[in-house]
Amino acid sequence: DIVMTQSPDSLAVSLGERATINCKSSQSVLYSSNNKNYLGWYQQKPGQPPKLLIYWASTRESGVPDRFSGSGSGTDFTLTISSLQAEDVAVYYCHQHYTFPYTFGQGTKLEIK
Amino acid sequence: QVQLQESGPGLVKPSETLSLTCSVSGGSINSYYWNWIRQPPGKGLEWIAYISYSATTNYNPSLKSRVTLSVDTSKNQFSLKLSSVTAADTAVYYCARGYSYGHPGIFDYWGQGALVTVSS
């Protein structure tokens, strides 16, 4: 199985400041034939299902604010929130769908400082 | 607006079979892949399996021997059965749609989740 490791496990950021969450996969999730990274990011607020934020590592889902961005390739990826808002408090998960079984990172809990 | 809704018993006895159904509204079950994902209380996400509208399946090997999936296109529903459950199977079970962006593993719509507790 591909192991997805996120860092940090938790993060406290001041409102309006930048938040950065990292995700490392145990093997590359870049498919060479189409140059796509099979990596997504999800946001989960308490009591709610996860919500798709980013797919193909850097494509923002429709309706997701542009303060959210994804970057990286191969084995190292980053989710950046450029200016933290109160409604961004949540747990964030990276997810690989390059190979079976699909796997998720352990989650990063984002709080307001 | 596509909506998914899980339904089924919230309490299952050890060694018995967990059964859940996901009803899809606001869109067709055709042309997509339908996933089950679970989350033990306070823990992370685990992908269980998917089934397509044409009944193509793929399973997490860690659960494959205990999982059965089915799809009923006439009812716009798909179902999960997990046999021989133990307390370790206690979790919120989510159904989720895949393939909107060309891959079954991109989950763009999720159900609200169903908490299933395994206890005698």
Of A38, A49, A106, the CB nearest to B44: A106
Residues above pLDDT 90, as percent of chain B: 92
Kindly determine whether residue A103 and residue B47, on different chains, have CB atoms separated by under 8 Å: yes
Q: How far apart are CA B51 and CA B61, in angstroms?
A: 15
Task: Decide: helix, strand or coil at residue B62.
Answer: coil
Kindly determine whether residue B61 and residue A101, on different chains, have CB atoms separated by under 8 Å: yes
- Pick the residue of B4, B64, B106 with the most A CBs within 10 A to test the interface with A by mutation: B106
Kindly determine whether residue A104 and residue B46, on different chains, have CB atoms separated by under 8 Å: yes
Nearest chain B alpha carbon to A50: B110
Calculate how close chain B gets to A17, using CA atoms only, in Å: 26
Summarised one tens digit per residue, pLDDT across range A23-43 is 999 999 999 999 999 999 999
Average pLDDT of A71-99? Answer: 98
CB B37 within 8 A of CB B20: no
Q: Which pLDDT does position B64 carry in this prediction?
A: 96
Answer whether residue B80 shows pLDDT above 90: yes
> pLDDT band for position B101 (50/70/90)?
confident
Answer whether residue B99 shows pLDDT above 90: no
Q: Which pLDDT does position B46 carry in this prediction?
A: 98
> pLDDT band for position B34 (50/70/90)?
very high
Q: How far apart are CA A97 and CA A109, in angstroms?
A: 22
> pLDDT band for position A17 (50/70/90)?
very high
